[in-house]
Chains A and B, each alone.
Chain A
Amino acid sequence: MAVVEARNLTKVFKQGELGAVNNVNLETREGEFLVLLGPSGSGKTTLLRMIAGLETPTSGEIRIGGDIVNHLTPRERGIAMVFQSYALYPHLSVYNNIAFPLKAQKVPKEQHKQKVEWAAGLLGIERLLQRKPRELSGGERQRVALARAIVREPRVFLLDEPLSNLDAKLRASAREELDEFHDRIKTTTVYVTHDQVEAMALGDRVVVLHQGVVRQIGTPREVYDEPADTFVATFLGSPPMNLLEAEDAIVGFRPERFLPADLQTSGKRVSLRLHVQHSEFLGAERILYGILDGTRFRDKPVCARVSSSVLETYVPDTAYDFAVPEHELKFFDAKTGKRIPPRPLSWQ
C-alpha cells in the first residue's frame, strides 16, 4: 500500500494548445479510494495514465510511496490497472490471463497456481478459469480484469471507468462488489469515472476535474453540499443546482431543497412562486420544471425535485408556493464562479 502524489502535474499533447492536464496537485491517503470525476475531455484518464506510466508528463512530479516515479516504466511502479475495455488477452484462458503478471514479474512458478486461485476466489470466478475471454459476459470479464490486477498484490490500483461497459442493472451490483472488494483488500485506489453516482457511491474522496484543472477535492458530501464553484455545483446533482444571477453574485440551491412552502414550517426560508411548466414522474420522485413568478427573478428557469410521497398533483401552467431554507443557499462570485460567503440578498 502506498500514497500517490501528483505535484504541479501537466500534460500538453500539442504545443501551444491547452494542456489535457494542467498543474494538478493531489495526494491520496493510505488505502484511500480516490475518484477522479469529470466530463469527457476533462483530463481524468490522462492523469491516470500518467500515474500508470503510460503517458509521460510534460512537467511536474508523480510520487508513489514517497519516491519520484516519473522516469520509471509501468512495471517498475508497482501498480495495477484495470482498463475501460478490460484489455484481457483474447488468446489466453482466464487462468493464463490472471497468471500473466506473475510470469512477467518472474514470481516463482510454484506459487502461480495458488495465487491465481486466491485472486479468482476473491472475485468468485474459480469456475471460469479454463474459459477464453470471448466466452465470458461483460460482468465476468470485469472480474477477470480485477483478478489479473490484484494477483500480484500491487501497491496502488488504477481503475479507468471499469463499469462503463456494463448494463445499468449490472453496474449497480458491480459497484457494490467493487466497494466491498476495496474494503477487503484496502489497497490505495485511484478510480476514473464520468458518472457522478459511481463517484459518490465509491469514493472516500472525489476529485472534480474540468479542462485538466482540479476544481475541488473533497468527500462526496463536501463536493455535493459545499461545491467550490459553479462548475462543481452544476456537474454534480441531477438535475443540477439552480443558479440565479443577482448583481455581482450567483445564488444557487439544489432542486431537492426547493420544496412546496407548506412542507417547510420551521427555520428561516426564502419563499418563491414556481410557475410549473411541465413535470416528469420518475417513480420515487417528481421533477418539476418551471419559471419563477414575481420577485426580481421573474421568468428565470428553475427546477424542483419533490418526493412522490407528496400527494399534491402539479398542474402545468399553474403557480405554486415554494420555498428554500436560507442555509441551503450557496453563493458564487459572478465573475469567477468561485464560492463566496453567504450575503444578504434582496429577493424582491
Chain B
Amino acid sequence: MAVENRRLGAAMFFPAIAFIVLLIGAPFALAVMYAFSDARIGSPGFHFVGFENFRSILQSPSFQAALRNSVVFTVCAQIIVIICSTILSIALEKPFRGRKFVRFLILLPWVAPISLGAIGWKWILDSIYSVITWVLVWAHVFKPYGAPMWLGEPHLAMASVILVHCWRLIPFSTVIMLAGRTAIPKDIPEAAAIDGAGFWRTLFQINIPMMAPIISVAVLFGTIFTFTDMTVVYILTAGGPFDSTQTLPSLAFATGIQGSDLAAGAATSLFLVPVLILIAYFMLRAAHRAEVA
C-alpha cells in the first residue's frame, strides 16, 4: 500500500517536474553556460571566456539604459497599477446594476492575448493613424501634423509603454484586490464608521493596512510580470527610439536572437536573476503572512 502510494505520488509529481526541468531548468542552465562562452548563432560551440561577456555588457551604454529603463518601467507601472486597482476594487465592491458586466469589461485586457492587445495599441498610438491624435486635432488641442509622436519621442514612448502595460496588468491586480477586500470582515469598516472615521481614514488606516499582505502579493506578481515582460516593448517600440524604451528582456532578445550574439544575450538576461530571486523570496514571505493572517 505504502509503495503504491509512493508511486502514485511520484506519478502525479512527474509532469510538474518534467515541465520545470525541460522548459525552465534546461534553458536556464544553457543560458548560464552561454553567458560564460563566446557562442554566436552561427557557431554555438562552447569556448569558456570567463566573465568577459559581463564585463563588456556592463560597459555598453545600451545595457545601462536598459537597466535604468527596466527600473523606471517596473516602478512606475506598479505604482499606477496599484492605485488604479485599489480604486477599481472599491468601486466594484458594492453591488450595483450591471456590476457583472463592468467586471467582465475590466477583466478583458487580461484575458485577451497580449500580442493582440499590444498591436491594437500600436495602431492607437501610430504616428499617422493614431485615433488619439485624430481626436486631439479635432478638439483643436493640436494643429494637424503638429501632434506629438506617441511612440517616436523618448519620454512619450516610455510613458506609452508604461500605460499600455498598466492597461494589461490592472485587471489582474484588481481581481487580487477584490479578493483581499472581501476577506475583510464587514464589521470592521462598520466599526470604523461608528468610531467616526470617514472614507479616507477608513481606507488608509483600516482597509489598506488590513489588505497589506494581499497588496504585497499583487505588487510582487506585478513586478515579476513587468520586469520580465518584453511583449509590450517589443511590439510597440522594439526598444526605440534610441534605446529609450529598451528593457533588460528586450535588450537580451535584441542582442541574443536578433543580433545573433547568444553569449551577450544570455549574460544580459542573467542580470534579471538576482532581482527575481529577491522578489520570489519576498513573495513567498508575503504569501505566508497572508495565510497566517
Which residues on A are within 8 Å of B, measured CB to CB? 52-54, 73-75, 79-81, 83-85, 87, 89-91, 100-101, 103-105, 148, 152
Q: Is B16 an interface residue when CB atoms closer than 8 A count as contact? A: no
Task: List, sorted by A's number, 5 A–B pairs whose CB atoms are closer than 8 Å.
Answer: A87-B185, A89-B191, A89-B206, A103-B201, A105-B195
Q: Which residue of A lies closest to B190 (CB)?
A: A54
| B190-226 vs A, Cβ < 8 Å mask (1 yes, 0 no) | 1111111110010001100110100000000000000
Q: In whole angstroms, what is the CA distance A104 to B185 when docked?
A: 20
Query: Bound complex: CA of A130 vs CA of B191, how far in Å?
Result: 21
CB-defined contacts of B209 to chain A, threshold 8 Å: 91
User: How close is B193's CB to chain A, nearest CB, in angstroms?
Assistant: 5
- Complex contact A85–B193 (CB within 8 A): no
Among residues of B, the one whose C-beta sits closest to the C-beta of A81 is B194
Count residues of B near A (Cβ-Cβ below 8 Å). Answer: 19
Chain A residues with CB under 8 Å of B195's CB are: 75, 80, 100-101, 104-105, 148, 152
A83 CA / B191 CA spacing, docked (Å):
8
Closest Cβ neighbor of A49 among chain B residues: B190
Which of A53, A84, A100, A103 has the most chain B CB atoms closer than 10 A to its own CB? A100
Contact status of A91 and B196, CB under 8 A, knowing A54-B190, A83-B190, A85-B187: no
CB of A134, distance to nearest CB on chain B (Å)? 9
Contact: B192 with A104, CB < 8 Å?
yes
Query: Which B residues have a C-beta under 8 Å from some C-beta of A?
Result: 185, 187-188, 190-198, 201, 205-206, 209-210, 212, 293
Are A75 and B187 neighbours in the complex by a CB distance under 8 Å? no
What B residues does A52 contact at CB under 8 A? 194
Chain B residue nearest to A75 in the complex (CB): B196
**B192 partner residues in chain A, CB cutoff 8 A:** 89, 100, 104
> Do the beta carbons of B185 and A85 come within 8 Å of each other?
yes
Q: Is the CB of B194 within 8 A of A79?
A: yes
A87 engages B197 (CB within 8 Å)? no
Could you say which of B185, B191, B197, B210 contacts A91, with CB atoms under 8 Å apart?
A: B210
Bound form: Cα–Cα A74–B194 in Å = 5
Given contacts A90-B188, A152-B195, A152-B196, 7 further A-B contacts (CB under 8 A): A74-B196, A75-B194, A75-B198, A80-B194, A85-B187, A89-B192, A104-B197
What are the residues of chain B within 8 A of A74 when measuring CB–CB? 193-194, 196
In the assembled complex, how far is the CB of residue B82 from the closest CB belonging to chain A, in whole angstroms?
Answer: 18
B244 vs chain A, min Cβ distance (A): 42
**Bound Cα distance A53, B196 (Å):** 12
Q: How far is the CA of A152 from the CA of B197 in the complex (A)?
A: 13
Contacts of B210 in A (CB 8 A): 89-91
Q: Which of B185, B191, B198, B205 has the most CB of A within 10 A?
A: B191
A85-B185, A85-B187 known; A90 vs B194 contact (CB < 8 Å): no
Q: With both chains docked as a complex, state the minimum distance between the C-beta of B184 and any C-beta of chain A, in angstroms.
A: 9
Which residue of B188, B193, B212 contacts A89 across the interface (Cβ within 8 Å)? B188
Closest to A52 in B: B194
From B187, B195, B209, residue with most partner A Cβ within 10 Å: B195
- Do B193 and A87 touch (CB < 8 A)? no
Cα separation A294 to B191 with both chains bound (whole Å): 59
Please give, as numbers and ranges, the residues of chain A lying within 8 Å of B212 by CB-CB distance: 91
- A83→B186 CA distance, assembly (Å): 11
